Amino acid sequence: MSSALLPKPQMRRLLARRMKFHLFGAFLLSVGCAALYKFGVADPRKRAYAEFYKNYDPMKDFEAMRAAGVFESAPPK
Amino acid sequence: MANHLQLGFQDASSPIMEELVEFHDHALMVALAICSLVLYLLTLMLTEKLSSNTVDAQEIELIWTILPAIVLILLALPSLQILYMMDEINEPDLTLKAIGHQWYWTYEYTDFKDLTFDSYMVPSTELPLGHFRLLEVDHRVIIPMESPIRIIVTANDVLHSWAVPSLGVKTDAIPGRLNQTSILTARPGVYYGQCSEICGANHSYMPIVVESTPLPHFENWSSLLSS
């Protein structure tokens, strides 16, 4: 009777293998979170400021606020 | 001013505040990366998928020494850049003094006209409709927009602090000391702040209101007030 031999399983450095796997995963997760924040919050905020100031007319803004009675030094006409 | 339940910064109204908001995003991103890493590892340890049963850990010790050093450098470089940017020589067009008292501010424009006034909070009982409770004052600090302004801050009695969050300014008012700060408003508008150093019973009731207007209106206002 012949018995098929199973391949010898890995018996050493199992914790090291698991640690390497999970540490790699942890770093990926943390970089992913940072990337999510960067592309979801930080970059849109930078773009919003750039867009706001691209065609910003301070005098037009001032006149609109003045008409609304916002200023103490410049009452509405 | 801040809206109800607002968690983040107010919209930046000066170039320095824009830089600070960007740096805060950067620092928060780093903090988020570190916190998510720690939380993940903690979860692994608590669910027994990871343990610290190891006697020789040279590689990981190297990683968790070098990586934090890199992170600290990544935080320090933009921080120092902004710090030095705040102290750049910018030849201000106007100098004004802000003097803290219990419990109001005095402003002195002594550059070209001898203009001095006190700024008291408008009590809630006298507040016109549509105005902001505990933030409005009887006399605002009027400054010309898009011009560098030097502000010398001091106090007459106890410690106060002159703060306007949307301009990125917070300067301690210390009796017997002159602290200097510089502001540049990128847009016309009205910017609110509050005393930021505990100074007694009415510490919460001595706000600061900066009004940024075009130069002709500022000149008109200053001639009216000093006459």
Q: Which residue has the tokens 């509405």?
A: A76
Closest to A18 measured CA to CA, from B212, B41, B182, B30: B41
Contact B186 A22 (CB under 8 A): no
ipTM, two decimals, is: 0.86
* Residue ranges covered by each domain of chain B: 15-87, 94-226
Task: Collect all residues of chain A within an 8 Å Cβ-Cβ radius of residue B22.
Answer: 42, 45-46
- The CATH class of B94-226 is mainly beta
Q: Which residue has the tokens 């500022």?
A: B218
The predicted model scores a pTM of 0.89
Best CATH choice for the domain B15-87 from the list 2.30.30.140, 3.30.160.160, 1.10.287.90, 3.40.30.10: 1.10.287.90
Instruction: Give pLDDT tens digits for B113-161.
Output: 789 999 999 999 999 998 999 999 999 999 999 999 999 999 999 999 9
With contact defined as beta carbons under 8 Å apart, do B202 and B129 qualify? no
CA gap B191, B194 in Å, rounded: 11
* Cis ω before B103 (30° cut-off from 0): yes
Query: Which residues 32-61 of chain A have a CB within 8 Å of chain B?
Result: 33-34, 37-38, 41-42, 45-46, 49, 53, 56, 58-59, 61
Is the pLDDT at A2 greater than 60, yes or no? no
Measured in degrees and rounded to the nearest 5, phi and psi for residue B118 equal: -95, 155
